[in-house]
Structure 1
Amino acid sequence: MAPSNPTAAPTQGFALDRLWHRGLDRYPSTGSRYWYLAVAVFVTIILYYELYVGGGVAPLVLEHFKMSFAYYVNILVFANLVGAFGSLAAGLADRWGRANLVTYGLLITGVLALITPLAPNKFVFGLFAVLGGVVEGMCLVATPALVRDFSPQIGRASAMGFWTLGPVVGSLIVSFVANRTLPHFDNSWSSQFYIVGVVGLVAFAIALFGLRELKPGLRDQVMVSAADRELVESRADTAEQQVNLANPWRQMLHLDILAPALGVSILLLIYYTAVGFFTVYLTSNFGFTTSKANGINSWYWGINAISLVVVGVLSDRLRVRKPFMVVGTVLAVVMTFIFMTRTTHADTSSTTLIVIIALLSLGLATAYAPWMAAFTETIERRNPALTATGLAIWGWILRIVVCVAFFILPHVVTAMNKLVEAPAVLAQVKAAGANPPPALLAEVAKIKTAAADGPHQWQTWWWICIVAEVLFLGLMLPLIGRWSPKAAKADAEEHEREVARLTSSS
């Protein structure tokens, strides 16, 4: 028997179908394209907020679980290791699409955040962190691939600057929320996970209904400017039939992909140190509270966020990438050196720290947004249909580099193991009164020694970061792109004439 409303069932089926089949048949108009880019950037921010929330309350987590600094670092090491292979798995997004990986990844991370405070011990806490690392590794590939799909090369640096707001603003939100809410929740680390879990599920709902992607025939082409839209659409069917997806890894494993991917991964050593350890570093070396340390961190992330967008726009306006990478890296090297020398003094003021890390943040942003644009453009030169595969190689290299670095760090900064135990030991001394036991006094002596040694051990680590920043300058050279704005403008004008000729003849 037919239903009384013959259109009801098909409409409902179509609506449900859109929750999984997200491909767009036509390249979206400017307004719709900006909407999809905005959703992609928004969910990236939330994903990184979820990933980094543990770093914002690391001292409290260590104290709660009686966790050593080495154990905490090993959690990060293993999370990055499995995240590396999550990045490789996300290379399948070239065949299966990107939007569903991101959308349902948000569902998983939101649930993980809400159940993390229920962890009965440090092993289960670490397990939840590792599971989150797998999802982050996949989204590291899928989200920039989405942004690439919706951004022509002229405008790519701006779009990638906004995408990079994901990890940066995610970190900023961690610091801001922790700074403002921890005092109201009696410094309970679990409060931050409950907050981010709810936010993550709201983001999942937005992505479920608002995130789309281009169908293969559209995304498998190079789009230099928005003026190419008509030509790209007319070639969509042919492009989908002729695309070369055979041996995708072999197509991407070339010097111009591998060297820049390694270069930016080591450049970001200091960035990932900031994400994982700045709060612990500031509380242990300068005696700041967790809330105060997050307030200082907020300046780092805030300046970084603004700089990424501004530099992206400037890079697109001048149509060059490499000059910005050079200027940004030089500034980062100088400020890392100053940071290294000033933070060996425990009396360095919070204002001085803010100025130093703000300029360091500016340098990294100046190098990174143009690098993201140049790297995706280099992948397109190889094969635009394998964008996710190229990004997967970068994601894998990045996670492996971070994994190795975090494994080495506790062996370089050995004093941190004692310094993170200091609050608990000092509390025991206070409780013992006038006559604390000799074993407790011996622990206090070890903490004092560690406090004296710690800043100098950190200096070694900052030197490693400086060397990595310098090496980036050589490793980024194989990327595609002009050094001269004049030559880049001439290339763009020649492309416009060619598109006009092809459009008029079709």
Structure 2
Amino acid sequence: MAPSDPTAPAAAGFTIDRLWRRGLDRYPSTGSRYWYLAVAVFVTIILYYELYVAGGVAPLVLEHFKMSFIYYVNILVLANLVGAFGSLAAGLADRWGRANLVAYGLLVTGVLALITPLAPNKFVFGLFAVIGGVVEGMCLVATPALVRDFSPQIGRASAMGFWTLGPVVGSLVVSFVANRTLPHLDNSWSSQFYIVGVVGLVAFVIALFGLRELKPGLRDQVMVSAGDRALIEARADSAERTVDLDRPWGQMLRLDILAPALGISIFLLIYYTAVGFFTVYLTSNFGFTTSKANGINTWYWAINAISLVVVGALSDRLRVRKPFMVAGTVLAVVMTFIFMTRTTHPDTSSTTLIVIIALLSLGLATAYAPWMAAFTETIEKRNPALTATGLAIWGWILRIVVCLAFFVLPYVVSAVDKLVEAPAVLAQVKAAGANPPPALLAEVGKIKSAAADAPHQWQAWWWVCIVAEILFLGLMLPLVGRWSPKAAKADAEAHEREVARLTGAS
């Protein structure tokens, strides 16, 4: 990429104000555009790696802080609640930009990760998690807004598939790193936070120097294909002058924004259960070690990551979104049901579980990448200048749904609270030898009772997830987009002819 390219990430003549003045006056060339998309995706991965690291070592954290399962869940509830309002605040990115929000957010989360192992008690640990939730809520809005800005509608599902690699690969990295390093680091939960903290600060440096964004006149327009570039640039000045930013929330609080946002939020209940509790579920219900559970989780996230990219490319090639959402939902419902049936079979092998959750992961990815594309296209139809505002509404609804779900879950699966105490109690029994005290034996009895109740309680929760997945099918219908690839192709060809006419006329 030539230094003389004004849209290049390594443009000559670096000045200190480039660290906060990140606007591009021209739509970037293909190489530069891919660079900015790659940086946006990379930093999203790291942000979610930082956010999800606690889930990968949750059993060890609970044991270290003598924390109950309900206390841990309440930390997640509060983190998601404040994250919801962080998402709303990020709606200001339509006026103030997105890139600085992301870059300096990485600095905050990197420092938080490094100081979390220094937490003297569970309250301070929870406080750090809540602060991280605010930053995550803001970046949930800012990063997909950046990806939307740099991706025309023809290619949007592929771009959003890559963006969704953020939470997915972030989870994959959590499981992979924990699986490979915990056995060699004395099962130290703090080691995982030190690792992610260093990685986060490296990502901050990359974003500080490598992340840019479009100036308002460019990002406030709809770009259907890369061929629109000249027209978009020609209209940039007038677009910035005539853009409608009055009553931004009023413009976006419409059925075609609210219903799909609610739909995807409840559809992803099982995804957020996987993020927060799969390790606890696999260790308490099937008896796997923390390291082994993370090994199983790795397959879930790996299949999800690959599927997001492949499905996104297929959706762009066929130029339709909704058929993929339907197919993915059907597969997700079927596999969630099968997954639920294995809950009462604690002798289920890790191989069987890997196959089940891999297919479940495929279903979720098949629905999600096209949904992200269709949702941003629906926002653009309302007002492309308010992309971050529309995404902020989605981020707020998503975090509130997750907050409520996490609040309810420990009451549905109440037995887990006792099961996470089992290793410590059993160690005390072993240390007591042949004559453990009656109180300790009573605790063992409660653990056995909880072990008998937990599978049925988990089944009730998986039913909630199944119903949510089914409801998504109705709630996604207001999204824009064709059902027929033939009709979608005709629309694209008509747009190309119109662009050619306007470009020729100018």
TM surpasses 0.5: yes
Counterpart in 1 of 2:4?
Answer: none
Q: Matched residues in 1 for 2:295 and 2:417: separation?
A: 24
Counterpart in 1 of 2:219?
Answer: 219
Query: What code does the residue aligned with 1:375 have?
Result: F
Counterpart in 1 of 2:287?
Answer: 287
Query: What code does the residue aligned with 2:505 have?
Result: S
Counterpart in 2 of 1:324?
Answer: 324
Q: Matched residues in 1 for 2:226 and 2:379: separation?
A: 19
Counterpart in 2 of 1:421?
Answer: 421
The Cα offsets for residues 219-259 of structure 1, whole Å up to 9 and x where unpaired, read as: 00000000000000000000000000000000000000000
Counterpart in 2 of 1:250?
Answer: 250
- Does residue 113 of the first structure (1) align with residue 109 of the second (2)? no
Note the C-alpha offset of 1:15: 1.5
Spell out the pairing of 1:58-73 with structure 2 (5 A cutoff). 58-73=58-73
SS of 1:346's equivalent in the other structure is coil
Q: Matched residues in 2 for 1:337 and 1:162: separation?
A: 28
Counterpart in 1 of 2:308?
Answer: 308
- Does residue 194 of the first structure (1) align with residue 194 of the second (2)? yes
- Does residue 147 of the first structure (1) align with residue 147 of the second (2)? yes
Q: Matched residues in 2 for 1:254 and 1:382: separation?
A: 9
Counterpart in 1 of 2:489?
Answer: 489
Counterpart in 2 of 1:351?
Answer: 351
Q: Matched residues in 1 for 2:61 and 2:342: separation?
A: 28
Counterpart in 1 of 2:365?
Answer: 365
Note the C-alpha offset of 1:344: 1.5
Q: Matched residues in 1 for 2:342 and 2:138: separation?
A: 38
The Cα offsets for residues 428-486 of structure 1, whole Å up to 9 and x where unpaired, read as: 10111110000000000000010011010000000000000000000000000000000
The Cα offsets for residues 395-425 of structure 1, whole Å up to 9 and x where unpaired, read as: 0000000000000000100100100000010
Counterpart in 2 of 1:8?
Answer: none
Spell out the pairing of 1:128-277 with structure 2 (5 A cutoff). 128-277=128-277
Counterpart in 1 of 2:127?
Answer: 127
Q: Matched residues in 2 for 1:75 and 1:287: separation?
A: 25
Query: What code does the residue aligned with 1:400 have?
Result: I
- Does residue 393 of the first structure (1) align with residue 381 of the second (2)? no
Spell out the pairing of 1:433-448 with structure 2 (5 A cutoff). 433-448=433-448
Counterpart in 2 of 1:32?
Answer: 32
Query: What code does the residue aligned with 1:323 have?
Result: P
The Cα offsets for residues 272-306 of structure 1, whole Å up to 9 and x where unpaired, read as: 00000000000001111000000000000000000
Query: What code does the residue aligned with 1:205 have?
Result: V
The Cα offsets for residues 82-129 of structure 1, whole Å up to 9 and x where unpaired, read as: 000000000000000000000000000000000000000000000000
Query: What code does the residue aligned with 1:464 have?
Result: V
Note the C-alpha offset of 1:326: 0.0
- Does residue 473 of the first structure (1) align with residue 476 of the second (2)? no
Counterpart in 2 of 1:4?
Answer: none
Note the C-alpha offset of 1:12: 11
SS of 2:15's equivalent in the other structure is helix
> For the aligned residues, what is the CA RMSD?
0.9
Note the C-alpha offset of 1:214: 0.2
SS of 2:19's equivalent in the other structure is coil
Spell out the pairing of 1:44-123 with structure 2 (5 A cutoff). 44-123=44-123
Q: Matched residues in 1 for 2:455 and 2:243: separation?
A: 54
Q: Matched residues in 2 for 1:76 and 1:144: separation?
A: 23
Q: Is this contact kept in 1: 2:112–2:197, CA < 8 A?
A: yes
The Cα offsets for residues 134-157 of structure 1, whole Å up to 9 and x where unpaired, read as: 000000000000000000000000
Query: What code does the residue aligned with 1:311 have?
Result: V
**Can you give the 5+ residue segments of structure 2 that lack an aligned partner in the other structure?**
1-10
Q: Matched residues in 1 for 2:135 and 2:284: separation?
A: 31
Note the C-alpha offset of 1:382: 0.2
Q: Matched residues in 2 for 1:12 and 1:232: separation?
A: 25
Q: Is this contact kept in 1: 2:312–2:370, CA < 8 A?
A: yes
SS of 1:48's equivalent in the other structure is helix
Counterpart in 2 of 1:381?
Answer: 381
The farther-off stretch of 80-89 and 342-351 is: 342-351
Note the C-alpha offset of 1:342: 1.3
Query: What code does the residue aligned with 1:122 have?
Result: K
Q: Matched residues in 2 for 1:438 and 1:369: separation?
A: 55
SS of 1:18's equivalent in the other structure is helix
Q: Matched residues in 2 for 1:437 and 1:259: separation?
A: 57
Note the C-alpha offset of 1:343: 2.2
Q: Matched residues in 2 for 1:148 and 1:160: separation?
A: 8
Query: What code does the residue aligned with 2:418 have?
Result: K
Query: What code does the residue aligned with 1:479 have?
Result: L
Q: Matched residues in 2 for 1:227 and 1:329: separation?
A: 34
Query: What code does the residue aligned with 2:491 have?
Result: D
Q: Matched residues in 2 for 1:13 and 1:332: separation?
A: 51
Q: Matched residues in 2 for 1:323 and 1:198: separation?
A: 42
Q: Matched residues in 2 for 1:469 and 1:12: separation?
A: 50
The Cα offsets for residues 354-395 of structure 1, whole Å up to 9 and x where unpaired, read as: 000000000000000000000000000000000000000000
Q: Matched residues in 2 for 1:13 and 1:363: separation?
A: 48
Q: Matched residues in 1 for 2:476 and 2:263: separation?
A: 6
**Can you give the 5+ residue segments of structure 1 that lack an aligned partner in the other structure?**
1-10
Spell out the pairing of 1:3-14 with structure 2 (5 A cutoff). none
The Cα offsets for residues 158-212 of structure 1, whole Å up to 9 and x where unpaired, read as: 0000000000000000000000000111000000000000000000000000000
Query: What code does the residue aligned with 1:198 have?
Result: V
Q: Is this contact kept in 1: 2:343–2:458, CA < 8 A?
A: no
Q: Is this contact kept in 1: 2:343–2:456, CA < 8 A?
A: no
Q: Matched residues in 2 for 1:412 and 1:233: separation?
A: 55
Query: What code does the residue aligned with 1:166 have?
Result: G
Query: What code does the residue aligned with 1:168 have?
Result: V
Query: What code does the residue aligned with 2:67 have?
Result: M
Counterpart in 1 of 2:6?
Answer: none
Q: Matched residues in 2 for 1:206 and 1:394: separation?
A: 28
